Amino acid sequence: MSEAYVVGQILVKDSAKWDEYRNHVPHTLEPWGAELVFRGTQATGMADECTHPDIVVIRFPTIAAAQGWFSSAAYQALIPVRLQAADVTLLFYAT
């Protein structure tokens, strides 16, 4: 089975709400065997600038685990906060 990655491209709109969201996400990842690979902010553009300057990468043991996490009641409960906090594009990748 191949690993899966969730890559989030982020444009924060409300820092307080974003902190609230970020503080709750790790608890939703634990049951799915996921680990935070990194969070970062775009330092500079090489070929172009991204309109969503922040990024998060989360590793899952399988694509099924990544999809299960996203569909879980625990994560779905955080989506209203995420929508208030930031514009986020979540992309799933399999290796």
Q: What's the CATH number where 16 sits?
A: 3.30.70.100
58 phi/psi in degrees, rounded to 5: -125, 130
pLDDT of residue 54: 95
Range of the domain at 32: 4-43+51-94
Task: Compute the average pLDDT of residues 35-48.
Answer: 87
What percent of the chain is predicted at pLDDT more than 70? 99
Judged against a pLDDT cut of 70, whether residue 1 lies above it is answered with no
Q: Structural domain tally of the chain?
A: 1
Quote the pTM value.
0.91
Task: Give the strand pairing for 35-41 and 4-12.
Answer: unpaired
What percent of the chain is predicted at pLDDT more than 90? 85
What tens digit of pLDDT does each residue of 15-39 get? 999 999 999 999 999 999 999 999 9
**Cα–Cα dist 53/44, whole Å:** 9
